[in-house]
Chain A
């Protein structure tokens, strides 16, 4: 039996192409631990694209130009999602101040996160080439703006496996009322075996679909059915000689374990009241804060890749519900508290050094005030802006208190130390312990990689310890 399993595994490790149809995946997941600094990754994606000019990118020149028409050279030949004609510039109404020893400029909308300025690396020079939500999110998370490509979390678990065999290796948590615009493909496995897809865990109701036994079936009854299944399957194994039968049975046992381990890890009610106060969490609700606390619990329990999508950052300014004052303020308040809590909590528990935390959106927002349909509305907001946006990174292997990259006086273009989604993907894989240039899967005649077919993605050594 072991002999047979060894053969199956050998075929897999020879890295041959697609003869993985009956791969014994439980084996495949137990890859040898690599020396990556990040044992786990928490990616906080703010879907809709948070406004860097209200939060991290301080542009006093832009404030001076507030209300003035946008110069022609910034409009000519450019494509915008919604801006038409000549918009006016929009300076931020919020005050910025230097924070911590690093002197990072952050706005008053980040009172708690500001205190952690010396813990994080802020990259103000992110730049992408996508300006629509779904393609931009796909590009950020799957390495391609079109559908059909595997997500970052799938690549990481494919390449490195996961520590806790009783939980999925790649968990996805959403908040904000909607899935992100790119849909479930953002955490899909595409051509990678589906075992690597993200498992969407819900923070209220059943954490994983079909996790709970049906009405009327108790845990003890479920155990008895599994015992019977095991015996009956063993008889089938005798008849068929096919190792697949054992592989399947082991997935049932894993499912049985997950029925306990998943609700346990997803239950925040037993956390201390200090923790709840720190995050602003409320058990039983769906919220970004709840998801941040869950993310800490998941990595604490050995989950390799946790991805959070918080929807509702698309502050165009078409109404009170999507502007940079009435809408942004409450949303960033909750976010500020939650991200500060997450970093503080990870640090206090000694987890921050082995956990990589990334925060950001899929592109930035324009220095111009959006004029939907050509007319400035009553509320202030910004359109989609691919050329410059801000993300931050913290934790495993990342420098503390670094301010990386600069944009021009008004925050339109990057002028120093540009970083792209490909660079970010390369760096994340590297920190996890994989080689972004060689981690691949042969499909359609190409060795597919997260970072795409060219080697333009760089491991950003300047950001790393």
Chain B
């Protein structure tokens, strides 16, 4: 970080401090808030982001630090500059002095200077570089008297690059090429898994989710956009085209349906359907988000800061923010609950798109004073910020032109920001660590020439696969990641790349790898998002009775990227491993280490299912422990590892022999888990078969909901119960109920062992309570039309017993007499799993399940190294 560089600078005082690397970041951090571009907060009329004023007034006297008032102020004991926060360190002051004495040369912030193709440097260890990346890396290492590490062993490298390029262990097609690294890499790049992995990286930036966000967080169909992104990566769509289509396909000439789907990028903004919200207020917030996101994703600029005031440090005035706003302010979407406009793709599928308003409906864009949308000020027209080169000559001054401007040859940022992000994913950290901020507050590039060399090359063809291949073919990438204490001391964060990167897998890879190693992962691509198993009670969203309904069959084992993403209640195991929830653009995930992660990978059923399947396969092998290592880690275990694993197996078998039912459960883990697969109808509702209940439409008196109550004088009849003012053909009432309340009773016989997870599919628009054997089992909160499954509460679940059980329901008509009332109940539960006393093999196999789960949790497994 900065202090690291300052330390380096202090030891190399022969040269004057480098303005870009040493002086500018210091001034930006400590001075520009009050002496920067924002005239509203400017103190004493002094700017230190440019120096014409400072030199004129003697604040800086080039060549004479002793005469410079800047130096006097920062060293002043009584009234130091800056007036708040810690003083400048002695080192920092020395640097400023040296800089001034050397002439106070300054330059535009490095990231705003045009990209110039640098020459490839000469290195001493000339046999090491495989491509120019290595020359740049080695030059820096040699400057620090460091040597690169040896290449990683073949299998280590194979696992690493497969995880990096496809987010999975290598498949058979790639493994066939393992003896030729380049052919192996090509196979990975050609795999459809490639697009899925890199799409997810992009979806973080796109703040993708399958719901609208905010209070109700209703479902939204926008997965066709996610599919578009996967295809774009697999087809290696050039990045400039990738950009233009997403930002403005609708404005291009003759866009295809596919092209239009791409505009979903900016339709990922949230829609607020909370009652009483102002649509225009939230449309405005969505536009602001689009600008902030665009700035961060393509240019690494924090444009969002300028919605309230001129940017304090970077070149974007308050007015210019709204000039950018004007590019985005002409789309038809308007925070409507329907998420219009949508593009109909088939009978059942529509997706959100950008659509420009007709010419006569255009909006006037105004500057919002202090960012408050209730106080619009001066009207502005669309324009790009003055600090950057102008729009390309033949570009229209609209959203399309703006997109073309982002990827024009003269834009100094887009290529740098983009190559930096790809670099970071493969090398562990960006050349510019602050991937989201290439402004004056961001971190300086560790290898500025390398960055520009990569950026210049990328700008020529915008070819993503070529860039990724170049990086993974380099010697720098291929280095072993082992680190000595000396190297760890010198460069703990591996900024110099003297070793291969070693870091924890991201959330998706942690899960996908486990499923893939077990042979459970479905290769099915695309389509509506799926719902793998999730704990009960995660979705408790206000005013929203959507349920998480576990998917069937192979949809349970799709890649994590296809998991239904709800913003307000994201999938827990993804969140636990630092995945974002789609509420805002996430440029990079901060990797953490938490006990919740440990709990997830030990106890989340996905990992146990994988363990079960791994164990089944391994148990068939002559040497199961070896097989587990091969399946998960793609290598042979050492003798010590083998011994330790076999020891664990033996100890586990011993434990299981003492509790055989545990062994029985472990070998049938999946079966036990999916209660929904064992669902059986105990009382059919009208949709399966009308079933007779005893019912009464006037007060039956006390005790009516107990098992013993005598209901022989009640009426008997099947659903639907109710009454409509106008007959309703789709809901034929079989038993009339037109009073305020309805009482229902039914008896069912159950045998031990009892089923579990009792739920009631109920059709109603009224409030109701359910009792099981006199125990209160359910009270509904929502009344909505349609059939819903209601899970009984814990008391209700426990109230069932072998023998006769009575379910009693009281329904209360809701609200004023309207067009009618209806009620129809059923009862469903999951049958118990038949567990058998385990055979000897099964004890062993059950123990292998536990061992497999342990191996899935090893640090080596969770790390790409």
A binds B: yes
Give the interface of A toward B (CB within 8 A): 3-4, 7-8, 11, 14, 16-26, 79-82, 131-134, 146-148, 174, 177-185, 188, 191, 193-195, 199, 202, 204-206, 208-218, 220-222, 224-225, 228-229, 231-233, 235-237, 239-245, 247-249, 251-252, 254-255, 258-259, 284, 311, 319, 383-384, 442, 444-446
Known: A179-B541, A204-B794. 11 other contacts (CB 8 A): A19-B493, A81-B277, A147-B213, A191-B590, A194-B592, A214-B603, A221-B656, A225-B652, A244-B859, A251-B593, A445-B442
Please report the C-alpha to C-alpha distance between residue A426 and residue B814 in the assembled complex, in whole angstroms: 45
| Distance of A277 Cα from B502 Cα, bound (Å) | 56
- Say whether A178 contacts B540, CB under 8 Å: yes
Distance between Cα atoms of A444 and B492 in the complex (Å): 24
Instruction: Output the nearest chain A residue to B214 by Cβ-Cβ distance.
Output: A134
B786 near A: Cβ within 8 Å? no
With beta carbons under 8 angstroms apart, the residue of A25, A180, A216 that contacts B662 is A216
Indicate if B107 sits at the interface (CB-CB under 8 A): no
Q: Are A21 and B485 neighbours in the complex by a CB distance under 8 Å?
A: no
Residues 804-847 of chain B: 1 if any A CB is under 8 Å from the residue's CB, otherwise 0?
Answer: 00000000001100000000000000000000000000000010
Partner of A18, one of B433, B583, B669: B433
B484 to chain A, nearest CB (A): 6
**Complex: chain A residue closest to B490, CB-CB:** A7
Q: What residue in chain B is nearest A240 (Cβ atoms)?
A: B482
- Taking the complex as formed, is B739 at the interface, i.e. its CB lies under 8 A from any CB of chain A? no
Q: Which residues from 470 to 510 on chain B have a C-beta closer than 8 Å to any C-beta of chain A?
A: 481-485, 488-489, 492-493, 502-504
Return B377 CB to nearest CB of chain A, in Å. 18
Given known pairs A174-B540, A244-B502, the reply for A225 and B591 (CB within 8 Å) is no
Q: Can you name 23 A-B pairs with beta carbons within 8 Å?
A: A3-B489, A4-B489, A21-B591, A22-B493, A82-B275, A147-B270, A147-B583, A178-B542, A183-B567, A193-B592, A209-B599, A210-B602, A216-B661, A216-B664, A216-B849, A221-B652, A228-B644, A245-B859, A248-B862, A255-B602, A384-B276, A444-B305, A445-B437
Asked if B563 is at the interface (CB within 8 A of a chain A CB), the reply is no
Chain A residues positioned under 8 Å from B596 (CB to CB): 199, 208-210, 255
A446 engages B597 (CB within 8 Å): no
A374 to B128, CA, bound (A): 79
* Chain B residue nearest in CB terms to A212: B603
Within 8 A of A (CB), among B531-555: 535-538, 540-543
Contact status B640-A235, CB under 8 Å: yes
Q: Which of B638-665 contact A (CB under 8 A)?
A: 638, 640-641, 644-645, 647-648, 651-652, 655-656, 659, 661-665
Would you list which residues of chain B between 422 and 443 have a CB under 8 Å from chain A? 429, 433-434, 436-437, 439-443
Q: Contacts A18-B434, A211-B603, A216-B662 hold; do A248 and B859 have CB atoms under 8 A apart?
A: yes
B119 partner residues in chain A, CB cutoff 8 A: none
Given contacts A218-B662, A225-B853, contact A21 B644 (CB under 8 A): no
Most B C-beta atoms less than 10 A away, residue of A228, A229, A259 = A228
Which 8 pairs across A and B sit closest by C-beta, in order of nearness?
A81-B276, A183-B568, A445-B441, A216-B665, A147-B583, A255-B598, A216-B666, A148-B584
Flag if A241 contacts B441 (CB, 8 Å).
no
Give chain B residues whose Cβ lies under 8 Å from the Cβ of A212.
Answer: 603
Q: Which of B600-621 contact A (CB under 8 A)?
A: 600, 602-605, 608
Which of A16, A205, A233 is the one whose CB lies under 8 Å from B3?
A16
Q: Are A213 and B583 also in contact (CB < 8 A) when A82-B276, A132-B277 are?
A: no
Decide yes or no whether B858 CB sits under 8 A from chain A.
Answer: yes
| Residue of B543, B593, B669 contacting most chain A CB atoms (<10 Å) | B593
In chain B, what residue has the closest Cβ to A8?
B492
Question: Cβ of B3: which chain A residues have Cβ within 8 Å of it?
Answer: 14, 16
Report how far A25 CA is from B529 CA in the complex, Å.
34
Answer whether residue B217 sits at the interface, using C-beta atoms and an 8 A cutoff: yes
How close is B427's CB to chain A, nearest CB, in angstroms?
A: 12
Give chain B interface residues in 393-447, CB to chain A under 8 Å: 429, 433-434, 436-437, 439-443
In the complex, the answer to whether B850 meets A221 with C-beta atoms within 8 Å is yes
With A19-B433, A205-B537 known as contacts, the answer to whether A252 contacts B583 (CB < 8 A) is no
Complex alpha-carbon distance, A236 and B862, angstroms: 12
Looking at the assembled complex, report how far the CB atom of B633 sits from the nearest CB atom of chain A, in whole angstroms. 10
Known contacts being A7-B492, A180-B542, A215-B672, is A225 close to B648, with CB within 8 Å? yes
Q: Known: A218-B655, A241-B484. Contact between A210 and B858, CB under 8 A?
A: no
Partner of A194, one of B503, B567, B594, B865: B594
Q: With A18-B590, A146-B285, A183-B217 as given contacts, are A228 and B647 in contact (CB-CB < 8 Å)?
A: yes
With A209-B535, A218-B662, A446-B305: A195-B592 Cβ-Cβ less than 8 Å = yes
Q: Tell me whether A444 and B481 are in contact (CB under 8 A).
A: no
Whole-angstrom CA separation of A210 from B272 in the bound complex: 32
Chain B residues with CB below 8 A from A24, complex form: 593
Contact B859 A249 (CB under 8 A): yes
CB distance from B212 to the nearest CB of A (A): 12
Contact between chains at A231 and B644 (CB < 8 Å): yes
B80 CB to closest chain A CB (Å) equals 17
Do the beta carbons of A220 and B655 come within 8 Å of each other? yes
Contact flag A252-B857 (CB < 8 Å), given A134-B274, A241-B482: yes
> What's the Cα separation between A378 and B276 when bound, in Å?
20
Hey, which chain B residues are within 8 Å of A132, CB to CB? 215, 272, 274, 276-277
Chain B positions near chain A (C-beta within 8 angstroms): 1-3, 213-215, 217, 270, 272, 274-278, 285, 296, 302, 304-305, 313-314, 429, 433-434, 436-437, 439-443, 481-485, 488-489, 492-493, 502-504, 535-538, 540-543, 567-570, 572-573, 575-576, 578, 581, 583-584, 590-600, 602-605, 608, 638, 640-641, 644-645, 647-648, 651-652, 655-656, 659, 661-666, 669, 672-673, 781, 794-795, 814-815, 846, 849-851, 853-854, 857-860, 862-863, 865
Q: Are B592 and A23 in contact (CB under 8 A)?
A: yes
Known: A224-B648, A224-B651. A242 touches B638 (CB 8 A): no
Partner of A445, one of B275, B439, B655: B439
Closest residue on chain B to residue A131 by CB atoms:
B276
Within the complex, what minimum Cβ distance (angstroms) separates A188 from chain B?
8
Complex alpha-carbon distance, A322 and B567, angstroms: 27
Residue of A17, A21, A25, A183 near B443 (CB, 8 A) is A17
Smallest CB gap from B309: residue in A: A453
Among A11, A193, A216: residue with most chain B CB under 10 A: A216
**Given the complex, which residues of B lie within 8 Å of A11, measured CB to CB?**
1, 492-493
Instruction: Please report the C-alpha to C-alpha distance between residue A79 and residue B656 in the assembled complex, in whole angstroms.
Output: 66
Q: In the complex the two chains form, is A179's CB within 8 Å of B278's CB? A: no
Q: Find chain B residues with CB under 8 A from A384 CB.
A: 276
Contacts of A183 in B (CB 8 A): 215, 217, 541, 567-569
Q: How far does the alpha carbon of A442 sit from the alpha carbon of B484 in the complex, in Å?
A: 31
> In the complex, which of the residues A3, A211, A216, A240 contacts B599, with contact meaning CB atoms closer than 8 Å?
A211
Closest A residue, CB atoms, query B647: A228
Write out the residue numbers on chain B whose beta carbons fall within 8 Å of the beta carbon of A195. Answer: 592-594
Which residue on A lies nearest to B598, using beta carbons? A255
CA distance A419 to B575 in the complex (A): 35
Taking CB atoms, residues of chain A closer than 8 Å to B656 are: 221
Of A4, A18, A182, A222, chain B has the most CB atoms within 10 Å of the CB of A18
Q: What's the minimum C-beta distance from B329 to chain A, rounded to whole angstroms? A: 19
Q: Which of B493, B572, B815 contacts A21 (CB 8 A)?
A: B493
| Complexed CA–CA distance, A444 and B794 (Å) | 46
A258 and B591 within 8 A (CB):
no
Nearest A residue to B782, CB-CB: A177
In the complex, what distance in Å separates the CA atom of A82 from the CA atom of B278?
11
Query: What is the distance, in angstroms, from A49's C-beta to the closest C-beta of chain B?
Result: 12
A319 in complex: contacting residue of B482, B652, B815, CB < 8 Å: B815
- Cβ contacts under 8 Å, A19 to chain B: 1, 429, 433, 493
For A82, list chain B residues within 8 Å (CB). 275-276
Contact B598 A254 (CB under 8 A): yes
Q: How far is the CB of B548 from chain A (nearest CB, A)?
A: 13
Chain B residues closer than 8 Å to A202, beta-carbon distance: 537
In contact, A241 and B648 (Cβ under 8 angstroms): no
Q: How far is the CA of A446 from the CA of B504 in the complex (A)?
A: 28
